[in-house]
Structure 1
């Protein structure tokens, strides 16, 4: 079981997206994703978020918000719990990423990129400014075979 974070950093109506095209053995090969990664031992979700964003982009988040918790499962992958964030303020200078190419993409165009099907579901919730949500995404290989969403009117 893995714990991860993913963040969509926003500026001027665009999201900072990562095209994962540099690693050889990469489950996200040639997919577009937000910024994030795996927890290190003892890290909180926020600590992981801040570290991963700094490592992958050189940016320091100043304003960010937890938007949802996603449970991924698939045969051969195991289970992953992902804490999904958006960020609206940051400092620092964007740097090159060892995992792929970073690009600012207009929010309305992100949905047309080569994304995981489940990512399209939670990106729509972000676009609608949905309250906090939890989502279960089950895959068979790259095929999304089940999705369930619970939207919270207040924190559980």
Structure 2
């Protein structure tokens, strides 16, 4: 079981991003999320984190899989990834907005996915398009050597049972 969750909130052609003020990934724009608390499911965790970090009350989010990483041949972590489509008539809050975790801002999807964008984690433009376009959950496995991505693989995951 992984310790982290991440959620990308999409509205029209924008993604709500958080520029984190703390490690890991301090100073980079990323989705919202954080650590699972004791006894939480990944979905419970991501709904809580979205509420705490953005004030947005989601009823659910779509499970899109896992992003994991190997560093120098050793699996060192991963996160459960979710996507939430906000309704067309959703009224965005004024951004940028300083929050406890950093700065929230709506970013255009083209900006987020630009391969030359050094302001997002380097693996994000690789896995986020899959999350936006595909229905089935997938594991995105990144291999790092000397802090650089040297390999990317995907693996199918079973769709979780919802009741």
In the superposition, the TM-score normalised over structure 2's length comes to 0.79
Shift of 1:147: 1.5
Give the aligned partner of residue 17 of structure 1: 17
Matching residue within 132, 135, 140 for 2:140 = 135
Map Cα deviations across residues 66-95 of structure 1 (whole Å, 9 max, x no partner).
0111222325x9622211110013789857
Map Cα deviations across residues 9-57 of structure 1 (whole Å, 9 max, x no partner).
011221001112x23xx12021111000011111110111011111111
Give the aligned partner of residue 104 of structure 1: 106
Count of residues in Structure 1 that have an aligned counterpart in Structure 2: 151
* Structure with more of its chain in strand, by fraction: 1
| Runs of 5+ consecutive residues of structure 2 not aligned to the other structure | none
Which consecutive aligned stretches of 4+ in structure 1 deviate over 6 angstroms post-superposition?
Answer: 90-93
Indicate the SS of the match to 1:60.
coil
User: Which piece of structure 1 moves more, 57-66 or 83-92?
Assistant: 83-92
| Runs of 5+ consecutive residues of structure 1 not aligned to the other structure | none
Q: C-alpha root-mean-square deviation of aligned residues, in Å? A: 2.7
In the superposition, the TM-score normalised over structure 1's length comes to 0.82
